[in-house]
């Protein structure tokens, strides 16, 4: 059985080879090739295009498509696997995606051809949940902007949210999305003494947190709102001008999930007009963030360059997690 693993600048060739060693030990012949980009920003630009436009938006270069008919398994993180690639893969039995989202793979077409598609749900749970909590603390306690002021020679104690900052203890945190990351954020916040509400159309199960039935109820009650939904046609702009008008004046919005969940222009206006107290954002419609973007002119937003998931654990563990899923799917055993 032959496997093509497509590395990139986040999961490089060495990381891929080390992470897939359990497959190699089972006799699978693994070839690692690289989807090459000049830098991380170029890779991220292609990734965003695929997330918005789907697996057919970008074609694989010829060095990656040569000999595809020889492989039984293809493993990718960001490299696109569209119809043309799938049609070329005459022996393909399994497609593995080293991430939770599979926007870069034409899953429906692959499965129509009898190809199993696996992803790695939960791989970013630790990295993104920890970052989200960090963004909450940075925004409500003015950590980033105080650092900036002091480094520029300004001893400042008064910020857009006032002289006395709020605490997580006693604050109501509203989580929009209660999947693996949302639930982990809740677990991290409970020891602070926060009251946690969540909105999620799909979650069923027991929880110590309070589920609300409507998005409107959550945005009206929460002091801190954190986004953790998947981006789909139905969830695009799910937070917009209408919702900002319902929020408390002291509300803070955190988005470490997908930019399209929140209408950027509406958020910028809500911050500019002080309809809400602040925001912390790690994801954007256009990346890198343009210098003339309205966020850059606001003093009540913390912005970071899409780094929530950028941890060693996140990327290095992904091939290991996927290997376990592949072994289970193929029912391989060591002889």
Q: Tell me the C-alpha distance between 132 and 255, whole Å.
A: 8
**Is residue 33 within 8 Å of residue 81, measured between CB atoms?**
no
Q: Is 195 a catalytic residue?
A: no
CB burial string 50-62: b at 16+ within 10 A, e below: bbeeebeebebee
Task: Given the residues 56, 287, 293, 325, select the one marked as catalytic.
Answer: 287
CB burial string 174-192: b at 16+ within 10 A, e below: bbbbbbbbbbbbbebbeee
Q: Which residue has the tokens 């991380």?
A: 40
The closest alpha carbon to 40, from 306, 238, 279, 220, belongs to 306
Axis-axis angle for helices 125-140, 180-189 (nearest 10): 50
The closest alpha carbon to 209, from 225, 187, 227, belongs to 187
Q: Is 242 a catalytic residue?
A: no
- Helices within 106-179 (DSSP H only): 107-112, 125-140, 143-151
Token code pair at residue 191: 């020891």
- Helices within the chain (DSSP H only): 13-19, 21-25, 40-53, 62-65, 83-88, 107-112, 125-140, 143-151, 180-189, 215-221, 241-244, 264-272, 312-330
Q: Is 306 a catalytic residue?
A: yes
- DSSP conformation letters of 177-236: --SHHHHHHHHHHGGGT-EEEEE-SS--S--SSEE-S-HHHHHHH-SEEEE-PPP-TTTT
Task: Given the residues 258, 324, 331, 335, select the one marked as catalytic.
Answer: 258
Q: Which residues are paired to 32 by β-bridges?
A: 5
Give the catalytic positions in this structure. Answer: 258, 287, 306
């Amino acid at each position: 059985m032959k496997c093509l693993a497509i590395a990139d600048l986040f999961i490089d060739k060495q990381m891929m080879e080390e992470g897939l060693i359990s497959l190699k030990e089972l006799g699978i012949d693994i070839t690692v090739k690289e989807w090459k980009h000049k830098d991380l920003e170029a890779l991220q630009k292609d990734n965003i295009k695929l997330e918005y436009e789907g697996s057919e938006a970008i074609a694989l270069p010829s060095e990656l498509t040569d000999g595809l008919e020889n492989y039984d398994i293809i493993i990718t993180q960001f490299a696109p696997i569209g119809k043309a690639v799938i049609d070329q893969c005459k022996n393909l039995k399994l497609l593995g995606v080293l991430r939770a989202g599979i926007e870069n793979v034409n899953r429906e077409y692959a499965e129509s051809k009898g190809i199993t598609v696996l992803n790695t749900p939960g791989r970013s749970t630790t990295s993104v949940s920890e970052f989200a909590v960090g963004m909450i603390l940075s925004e409500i306690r003015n950590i980033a902007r105080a650092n900036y002021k002091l480094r520029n020679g300004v001893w400042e104690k008064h910020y857009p949210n006032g002289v006395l900052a709020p605490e997580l203890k006693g604050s109501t945190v509203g989580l929009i999305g209660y999947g693996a990351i949302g639930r982990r954020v809740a677990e991290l916040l409970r020891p602070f003494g926060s009251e946690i509400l969540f909105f999620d159309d799909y979650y069923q199960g027991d929880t110590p947190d309070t589920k609300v039935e409507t998005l409107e109820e959550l945005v009206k009650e929460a002091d801190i709102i954190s986004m953790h939904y998947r981006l789909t046609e139905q969830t695009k702009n799910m937070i917009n001008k209408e919702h900002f008008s319902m929020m408390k004046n002291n509300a803070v919005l955190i988005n470490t999930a997908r930019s399209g969940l929140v209408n950027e222009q509406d958020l910028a206006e809500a911050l500019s007009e002080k309809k809400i107290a602040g925001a912390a954002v790690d994801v954007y419609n256009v990346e890198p963030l343009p210098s003339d973007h309205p966020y850059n002119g606001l003093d009540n937003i913390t912005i970071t360059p899409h780094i929530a998931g950028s941890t060693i654990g996140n990327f290095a563990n992904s091939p290991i997690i996927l290997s376990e899923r592949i072994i289970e799917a193929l029912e391989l055993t060591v002889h």
